[in-house]
Structure 1
Amino acid sequence: MLSKVARNAFVGWESHGSGIIKPSFKTKKEGILMHIIQCYAPTNDINDDIKDQFYERLQSIIEKYPRNDLTILTRDLNAKVGIYNTGYEDIMGRHGLVRGTKMERFANLRAFNKLVIGGTIFPHKRIHKTTWISPDHTTENQIDHICINKKFRRTMENVRTRRGADIASDHHLVVTKLKRKLKKDWTTGQTSLQRFNTASLRDTDRLNDFKIALNNKFQALQDLLKEEETTMEDNWKDIKEALTSTCQEVLGLKKHHHKEWISIETLDKIKERKNKKTAINNSQTRAEKVQHQLNTLKQTNKQRRALEPTRRNTWKT
């Protein structure tokens, strides 16, 4: 999902096989693109050959783009980073969590491409660094990262997790704030497409009003043509202006109404589950936290069962 500004700046996206996707956007700085490489890296228990192939594929993607472009590597990289940055001082801070024993591939990738780990630069509480919780709710790690190429390090103002965001996942949402802005219109001279409310012409009175207004505009054009010599291009521009201005005045623009497919009952269940996750985040003791996590799991299952019939009925219609 993209905001309006991001949609206007969107250049395109590429899929690079299993676990890697890359959208690109134009920035305010002329000629500089922002590439966001989202990936899901193999876990430590996966065969070494598969991990090597993944990082080789990732390297080939990164080196495709100009060094002047802003490159962000993000999502689940399955690599723990910590407070010890010896040998990596230029691309890593000292504000991570526990360092893993098998992060050499990730470390080498960062070092070779000068990618700075945003989550290690900014000091935060532990709860705002943790990005993943184990299925048994006993282990917490920092394995989701947002990395940015060193040239644009100063554009990054903050990186932290937002525990309140809830999509029934064992990962927390990781967000960053950048100074760099996207370009609103990535195609020079592009104008937004206007769609008029032509459905209103089904109303007899509105149809008559439209005919009268358009007839008056065309009559004025005919009188003008008798008085002045004009080219075919001028005539077309005048006709187009008469049509669009009449549609604007009489019909108005078409309004987009999103079809509501989630019932009020389901929305209430989603809200209830969100409240339960808030209770988890605010737990004072381990026992209290475990109890709230069990309640949340039950609520998640209820939510999925409630949402499935609504979703099926929507696709049928």
Structure 2
Amino acid sequence: MYTRERKNERSMINLFLVDDRLRKQVMDTRVFRGADLGTDHYLVITRFRGLFAGWRYRTAVTEPQSVCRIRSWKLQEADTRDKYHARVAEKLDTIDGRKECVGRTWQKLRDGMVSAAEEVCGTIKRGS
């Protein structure tokens, strides 16, 4: 990308290099200014005609599954929050991080916090 700036004017040349064999397959090239890439460059996307046509496939349609969600909004109440803190403290007392690897310790920590939240706050089923 080449940028030329004058007083209140800014010009930009965006390039997308394409092999001669694919040049006729180029359908469109666009610049997306809103893409947050963390740089001063912009996202340039080029569409090709039929290049990946053989890769498209549809997955089998499955029935939606119900999801259990924790009623975390109940933690705004002081008594529920205190019960949750007590349960988490009980669950964390059983974890000894010095004898196990970091991954296993993290899994026990996560499972303890989730199970304490399920016990104290309860769950709700979402979906069908």
TM-score normalised by L of structure 2: 0.44
Q: Which has the higher contact order (CA 8 A, sep 6+)?
A: 2
TM-score normalised by L of structure 1: 0.19
Please state which structure has a larger fraction of its residues in strand. Answer: 2
